[in-house]
Structure 1
Amino acid sequence: MHHLGIAEIRLCVMHYCMNWQSISFDWNHARAFLAVVETGSLSAAARVLNQTQPTLGRQISALEGELGATLFERAGRSLKVTQTGTDLAEHVRAMADAAGRVTLVASGQSQAIEGLVRISASELFAAHLLPSIISKLRIIAPKIVVDVVADNSVSDLIQREADIAVRNVRPEQPDLIARLVHESSGRFYASKSYLKKHARPRSYADLTAHEFVSFGNTEQMLGYFSQLGLDLESGHFKVGSANSLVAWEMVKQGLGIAPMSVDVARKTPEVEALLPQETPILFPTWLVTHRELHTSRRIRLVFDLLAEELPKLMA
């Protein structure tokens, strides 16, 4: 098993410090800001950081002054994060995650973090994107045991069958923490063999003359297509499977058309993108975990690594 050597540790620290030097605000102010964003209020953030609300409020005001930007809209005692604040939070969170991992690696603590972490993702996602991230995790924390649950359902989190889930829909359950890590572009795809037998569609209207492959929940897909202005019926779906690998294989074999993110489709030479002139479809990627599990060191480490590496793979 390969472990990080001192040279690699130095590179990690150097990379972090270079990023840090490009930031002009005080880290304590940034940490206060992030705590308010993640907890939703000054009082909750003050409890998390073990500080008083006035102190936290002064740190937020100082950060806004340093940046020359409004990060929160104040309405009485409530705070609503602005778009600028939302954008900044992603960068501050990435800095905090990177700093935490550098500290773990440099001190050797990550080598001591151990135990099972179950990651739930769709079959396609689990097959195409997770393996390379797990390889990095094996170097950083070799005592963590990873079990990938290839499943499209969110119930595995609710029933504690998984610790972290990768989903394309944000869950609404209040006990879950969700972080948007990427929005991929997507298009409709068909195999080259399918296009040899059927006229290539030139518009959304043309798609109504074609057959589609269902990825499990046909009614849900119809609702999504309707939002795109595509008027389809259940009769357009002649084949399908709740297993996304099987459904995508059906598309590859020429059994119909289906939407797919470019991250997966570009690894599939058998298919071609349709309607390149149309606005791409958006496929959001959410990382989800339980609130209480997010305090576990091993789960936090895996969660943060996924949050950092997934956007790189999907960029």
Structure 2
Amino acid sequence: MNWDSLRFDWNQVRAFLATVEEGSLSAAARALHLTQPTLGRQVAALEQDLGVTLFERVGRGMQLTEAGLELLEHVRDMGAAANRISLTASGQSQTVEGLVRLSVTETTAAWLMPPILADLRQHAPRIDVELVVSNTLSDLRQREADIALRHVRPTQPDLIARLVRTQSACFYAAQRYLDRFGPIDTAQQLARADFIGFDDQPRMIAWLNDFGLPITNANIRVRSDSFIAAWELARAGLGVTMLGRDLADRFPDMVRVAPDMPEIEVPFWLTSHRELQTSRRIRTVYDFLAEALSKPQ
């Protein structure tokens, strides 16, 4: 079906999006301040207009069908844009204020967030942002952060998450390392290379082994618990490391190695606590980030 040719009733689309985000009709109805029957009728009307089934019931929750997933790709940005338009039209983007704590990894904080937060400052100048920079998961339930950008989807039932982008990660080495070691065009050559290790070295080795690379401790001559430090060590010619392709393209001194190996898809889940979604300042930041991160960087 060609979704782009269809015209939607916004109330129906909003009901659909809320049900996706909240995980059930009852939770979505509470989030939109509607009765559950009213919201259910809006979702049903959208299904009838499109001639497809969007949700299947799984226990007490709702699971998207294939048609629902396809529709979601087309209308998710509509929700973020509508919220921004509403805030701007009412002047609320200028009056929403307060602190929002955002938990991100080092590479995200250093290379993705600065231009996005600069745009956020123009959109909502009275919101203050604190970046909680950590390569471990912040506990949103303990209020270590208001919003987190994670590479794994949270499993806690009281958290909501939105997949905002997927990044392709590859293996890279500095040209100076390749001049010394030789070309790394195949997986067999890559398996003999030096690797930059991370703090949890056994887990890293196990993951590389599962990926088809028989790496051992002997391959790892230097390691760090900092992703940015590991990248800089690789740039200094000390071995191979991984990074998202769109970020690595910013460093012309780094060369992708073993290019025929499959790329690793790294998801980005924008996560927040359900209760915090009723906060105007957090909702403003959450929707702004969702829209910004879904665009090519």
- Normalised by the length of structure 2, the TM-score is 0.90
Counterpart of 1:12 in structure 2 is none
Counterpart of 1:254 in structure 2 is 237
Return the alpha-carbon distance in structure 2 between the equivalents of residues 53 and 190 of structure 1: 55
| Pair 83,226 (structure 1): closer, same or farther in 2 beyond 3 Å | farther
Which of 23, 30, 33 is residue 40 of structure 1 equivalent to?
23
Secondary structure of the 1:190 match is strand
Deviation readout 1:175-219 (Å, 9 max, x if unpaired): 332221111112110011110010222222222211101233223
> Is the CA contact 1:25–1:67 (under 8 Å) kept in the aligned structure 2?
no
Cα distance, 1:43 vs structure 2 = 3.3
| Aligned-residue identity in percent | 50
Q: Which amino acid aligns with 2:130?
A: D
Where does the alignment leave 5 or more consecutive residues of structure 1 unmatched? 1-20
Return the alpha-carbon distance in structure 1 between the equivalents of residues 234 and 142 of structure 2: 32
User: 2:86 matched to 1:103?
Assistant: yes
> Is the CA contact 2:138–2:148 (under 8 Å) kept in the aligned structure 1?
no
Counterpart of 1:25 in structure 2 is 8
> Is the CA contact 1:129–1:313 (under 8 Å) kept in the aligned structure 2?
no
Which of 118, 124, 142 is residue 101 of structure 2 equivalent to?
118
Counterpart of 2:175 in structure 1 is 192
Where does the alignment leave 5 or more consecutive residues of structure 2 unmatched? none
Secondary structure of the 2:196 match is strand
Counterpart of 2:208 in structure 1 is 225
Return the alpha-carbon distance in structure 2 between the equivalents of residues 115 and 263 of structure 1: 32
Which of 152, 166, 169 is residue 135 of structure 2 equivalent to?
152
- Normalised by the length of structure 1, the TM-score is 0.85
> Is the CA contact 2:96–2:124 (under 8 Å) kept in the aligned structure 1?
yes
RMSD: 2.3
User: What pairs with 1:172-211 in structure 2 (closer than 5 Å)?
Assistant: 172-211=155-194
Counterpart of 2:264 in structure 1 is 281
> Is the CA contact 2:208–2:214 (under 8 Å) kept in the aligned structure 1?
yes
| Matched pairs, number | 294
| Pair 78,147 (structure 1): closer, same or farther in 2 beyond 3 Å | closer
Deviation readout 1:87-137 (Å, 9 max, x if unpaired): 322433321211111111122111111111122212221111101011111
| Pair 56,156 (structure 1): closer, same or farther in 2 beyond 3 Å | closer
User: 2:217 matched to 1:265?
Assistant: no
